[in-house]
Homo-oligomer: A and B are copies of this chain.
Amino acid sequence: MSEQEQVNQFITRCRAHRLNVTPQRLAIYKAVIGDKSHPNPETIFSKIKKENPTISLATVYKTLETFERNSIISLVTNLHDTLRYDARTDLHHHMICNVCKKVIDVYDNDLNRLAIPKSVTGNHKLLSFGVHFDIICSDCSSKN
């Protein structure tokens, strides 16, 4: 996709979510799609500051949060807010409630045996893996 097409798609998506298209938002969006390293807000901020010297870090935070809430971009993990420990160190998996952030263990032998892609083992040393399921848990569902 050309940059112009990406920009047009971005504008369409913003309109669909009733989000104003501003130069700051466009710069932030371009910076995210142009960075395959899964950057944090500070990194995005540094990249666009050159072209937008007056932009503020708080705007970057607010904008990324807005994009995420509207599914324009995504978070690598939604457990970034605090350290979460697990008594189990053996292979297992997790469900994470997107509302209350509850974590529930999943034990499943088929998941334990999933086929590891060559792109993983080909170049890197694999330590372990796990599947995470983003859910809305039964408690949170029934509350609404």
List residues of chain A with CB under 8 Å of any chain B CB: 32-33, 35-42, 44, 64, 67-68, 71-77, 79-89, 94-95, 97-98, 102-103, 105-106, 108, 110-111, 114-117, 119-120, 123-138, 141
Q: Is the CB of B102 within 8 A of A73?
A: no
Q: How far is the CA of A87 from the CA of B31 in the complex (A)?
A: 9
* Chain B neighbourhood of A135, CB < 8 A: 120, 124-127
In the assembled complex, how far is the CB of residue A115 from the closest CB belonging to chain B, in whole angstroms?
6
Can you tell how many copies of this chain the complex includes?
A: 2
- Shortest Cβ distance from residue A14 to the other chain B in the assembled complex, whole angstroms: 15
Complex CA–CA separation, A137 to B111 (angstroms): 23
Q: How far is the CA of A35 from the CA of B87 in the complex (A)?
A: 8
